[in-house]
């Protein structure tokens, strides 16, 4: 894009967004031009001097935006309008623009053709409103800051009728209010205490039936419950471990192991606890 075309596009954008005033009017708006390289300074300085009676123009390099300490002074920021000069409006630069723009200020950003939608999305996420593509200049996106300042507040006033309705909605009248007893919400079945046997279920099958290769002890518990009371107890004096790992310690024992909690021992050795293990630590 040549210098003449750039100046024509800038005048179109400024007039379309009402950022210039007629000659002789003192109430000129403050505009900030952000360029990506210093070579774009010269052409924009010439444009600023030719239109000094219509707007107050300041030019700065994008590298200096991170050091900007100015408050919201600018009615509009025009980004990347030097010849062959594209300024990437990313999530680092856009928040800086929001701090420099006044309430209702305008951001006019030039981007590469085909990337307008991505820029519009970033501007919306940073709080810009009315974000649209420029109809007069291709590759340009325009957005506005909200008309209110950050941290501003306003008083909400209610007329007497509305205020009375709000108060009455939260007022409890003991004479008219109906209460429900919590006991009335319970059914007869809710008051019956469940049988403890019905609560014993397998963690795998979710039923009162042990799964295959049960290791949680439910199989032994169910077997003991179903065994007749007068049945003789099995002789375990010569019992041997089915897994062969009981003597190795708790890390190798199943959940129903009779040696659970005891120290490791040698096969055939009788487990004995020393005296200090039977004493309280406190």
Q: 78: part of which helix (H) or strand (E)?
A: strand 74-79
Q: Is 216 annotated as a binding residue?
A: yes
Q: Cβ of 259: how many Cβ atoms within 10 Å? A: 17
Q: Is 126 annotated as a binding residue?
A: no
Q: Is 214 annotated as a binding residue?
A: yes
Residues 6 or more apart whose CB falls under 8 angstroms from that of 65 comprise: 34, 93, 96, 97
- Distance between CA atoms of residues 266 and 79, nearest Å: 82
- Distance between CA atoms of residues 66 and 71, nearest Å: 13
Q: DSSP for 60-107, please give it.
A: EEGGGGGG----S-EEEEEES-STT------TTHHHHHHHHEEEEEEE
> Are residues 8 and 34 in contact, defined by beta-carbon separation less than 8 angstroms?
no
Q: Is 50 annotated as a binding residue?
A: no
Q: Is 89 annotated as a binding residue?
A: no
Q: Is 243 annotated as a binding residue?
A: yes
Kindly report the three-state secondary structure assignment for every residue of 213-237.
Answer: CCCCCHHHHHHHHHCCCCCCCCCCC
> Are residues 241 and 268 in contact, defined by beta-carbon separation less than 8 angstroms?
no
Point out the annotated binding site for [4Fe-4S] cluster. 243, 246, 254, 257
Point out the annotated binding site for [2Fe-2S] cluster. 202, 211, 214, 216
Point out the annotated binding site. 202, 211, 214, 216, 243, 246, 254, 257
């Amino acid at each position: 894009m040549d210098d003449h075309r750039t100046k024509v596009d800038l005048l179109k954008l400024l007039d379309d967004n009402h950022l210039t005033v007629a000659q002789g009017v003192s109430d000129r708006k403050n505009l900030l031009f952000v360029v990506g390289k210093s070579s774009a300074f010269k052409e924009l300085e010439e444009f600023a001097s030719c239109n000094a009676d219509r707007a107050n123009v300041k030019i700065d390099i994008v590298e200096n935006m991170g050091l900007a300490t100015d408050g919201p002074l600018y009615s509009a920021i025009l980004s990347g309008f030097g010849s062959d000069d594209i300024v990437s409006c990313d999530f680092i630069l856009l928040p800086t623009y929001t701090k420099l723009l006044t309430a209702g200020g305008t951001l006019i950003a030039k981007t590469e053709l085909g990337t307008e939608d991505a820029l519009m999305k970033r501007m919306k996420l940073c709080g810009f409103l009315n974000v649209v593509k420029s109809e007069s200049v291709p590759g340009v996106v325009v957005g506005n800051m909200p008309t209110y300042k950050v941290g501003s507040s306003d008083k909400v006033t209610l007329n007497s009728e509305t205020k009375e309705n709000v108060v009455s909605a939260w007022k409890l009248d003991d004479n008219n209010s109906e209460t429900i007893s919590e006991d009335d919400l319970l059914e007869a079945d809710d008051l019956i205490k469940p049988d403890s046997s019905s609560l014993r279920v397998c963690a795998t099958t979710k039923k009162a039936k042990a799964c295959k290769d049960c290791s949680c002890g439910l199989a032994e518990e169910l077997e003991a419950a179903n065994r007749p009371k007068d049945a003789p107890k099995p002789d375990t004096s010569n019992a041997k471990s089915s897994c062969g790992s009981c003597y190795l310690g708790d890390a190798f024992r199943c959940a129903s192991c009779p040696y659970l909690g005891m120290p490791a021992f040698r096969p055939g050795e009788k487990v004995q606890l020393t005296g200090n293990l039977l004493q309280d630590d406190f």
